[in-house]
Amino acid sequence: MNTNFPQLTDLRNPAFTQALQHKIDTKTKPLGSLGRLEALALQIGAILGTDSPTLQDPQMVVFAGDHGLVRRGVSAFPSDVSWQMVENFLAGGAAVSVFSRANQIALTVVDCGVKHDFLAGLPAGTQRPGLRVCKVPGAEHGTADSSEQAAMTALQCQQALQNGIELVKTLPGNALLLGEMGIGNTSAASLLLSRLTGLEIEVCTGAGTGLDADAVQRKTAILREVLARHPQATAPLDALAALGGFEIATMVGAVLQAAHERRVIVVDGFIASSAVLVAHALQPLVLQRCVFAHRSGERGHEFMLQYLGVQALLDLGLRLGEGSGAALAWPLLQAACAMLCEMASFESAGVSEKTAADPVIPG
């Protein structure tokens, strides 16, 4: 499958990093005393290319899609919950709606392939506030059952990627927060984790929407069956097409475009990280632009973060998805920027710096 995306530039710049580190080190605090917030400030400064970064017009985008595999019983909830939750997002009643509003983050929901017509009954050309419809022609109701055939054709997968790219081009601001909704998408994320990392599917599979232990075993057996049906789907986009979801594929395109534009990408939990996993397989430098908001309570997420070699900001036992963890982590990014831009230095505040220990005079 075509992987002709613009190559990302390497953000590593030793001289800039040294200057930015010096700015952090001379703030009115003991050296390194703000811990990982200092590393976060370094990363945001590198992404935005300035020692005084400001985060502007943050955009939370919730990518939604349905999965044909759900008919095999891999989720505790029916697929109708996907469209019902999209309506909840649009009405402002979901967790990600509340957390985004509390943090003044703009929220957009993208219909990448939900089995529902959100514009039914409306005059032609009518748009609903906060909703973007980016369905792939011929797959308006979501993916096929990946236990029987590829979830998407190669052409459909490419169209979903392009939809994500074009979407980001229309969004203001310099920060993209990733969210998702799709009953069955923990299965797709588990499949991608197993195929792209070589981990056994048992390690990658968790309770999702709340399956009990027996149901998790049945889910694992079904996912093993799916992997066996698509043994040749090993390249990143081939695996995405065979095993993934339209919301994940659209998110991959969005991640690649946001990275190309040097936006700060705030990654939510397991499913959002699976999109980054695919994007990383295509262009490893994408990780330089990604801040991982939290470590999910979903089993496979810890192994995904370990494989990528990254550490999440928070560990709150979250496993809701939607982008809820990304919204909760957002104030930490704001604080990192405020520290760089507003915190006084020893010199500007007239505060004495640490001095060397007094010499020991022999008695």
pLDDT in tens, 212-224: 898 889 999 999 9
Distance of alpha carbon 93 from alpha carbon 100, whole angstroms: 11
Spatial neighbors of 356 by CB under 8 A, at least 6 apart, are none
**pLDDT of res. 125:** 86
Query: Span 11-20, mean pLDDT?
Result: 97
97-105 contacts at long range (C-beta below 8 A, 24 or more positions apart) = 99/324, 99/327, 99/328, 100/60, 100/323, 100/327, 102/327, 103/58, 103/327, 103/330, 103/331, 104/58, 105/58, 105/59, 105/60, 105/177, 105/327, 105/330
Report whether pLDDT(357) > 90. Answer: no
Which DSSP symbol is given to 313?
S
24-32 contacts at long range (C-beta below 8 A, 24 or more positions apart) = 24/339, 24/340, 26/345, 26/346, 26/347, 26/353, 27/339, 27/343, 27/344, 27/345, 27/346, 28/343, 28/344, 28/345, 28/346, 28/349, 28/351, 29/343, 30/354, 31/354
- For the chain, what percent of residues have pLDDT higher than 70? 96
Of 237, 223, 277, which Cα lies nearest the Cα of 156? 237
Active site residue 225: no
Helix (H, G, I), strand (E, B) or coil at 309: coil
List, in sequence order, every beta strand (DSSP E) within 33-124.
Answer: 59-65, 106-113
Report whether pLDDT(204) > 90. Answer: yes
Cβ burial of 240 (10 Å; 0-12, 13-18, 19+) is buried
Which DSSP symbol is given to 314?
B
Which structure tokens are listed for 33? Answer: 């005393």
Confidence of residue 210 (pLDDT cuts 50, 70, 90): confident
Residues 322, 342, 347, 353: which is the catalytic one? 322
**pLDDT of res. 351:** 78
Of 214, 216, 241, which Cα lies nearest the Cα of 230? 241
Report whether pLDDT(209) > 80. Answer: no
Query: Span 42-51, mean pLDDT?
Result: 98
Which structure tokens are listed for 137? Answer: 């022609």
State the residue for tokens 């009643």. 93
**pLDDT of res. 67:** 97
Which alpha helices (DSSP H) does 56-137 contain, by range? 80-91, 95-102
Report whether pLDDT(304) > 60. Answer: yes
Residue 341: C-alpha distances to residues 14, 53, 87 (Å): 21, 7, 39
Phi, psi at 291, each rounded to 5°: -110, 120
**pLDDT of res. 52:** 97
Confidence of residue 3 (pLDDT cuts 50, 70, 90): low
List, in sequence order, every beta strand (DSSP E) within 225-318.
Answer: 264-267, 290-292
pLDDT in tens, 99-118: 999 999 999 999 999 999 99
Report whether pLDDT(38) > 60. Answer: yes
CB 164 within 8 A of CB 252: yes
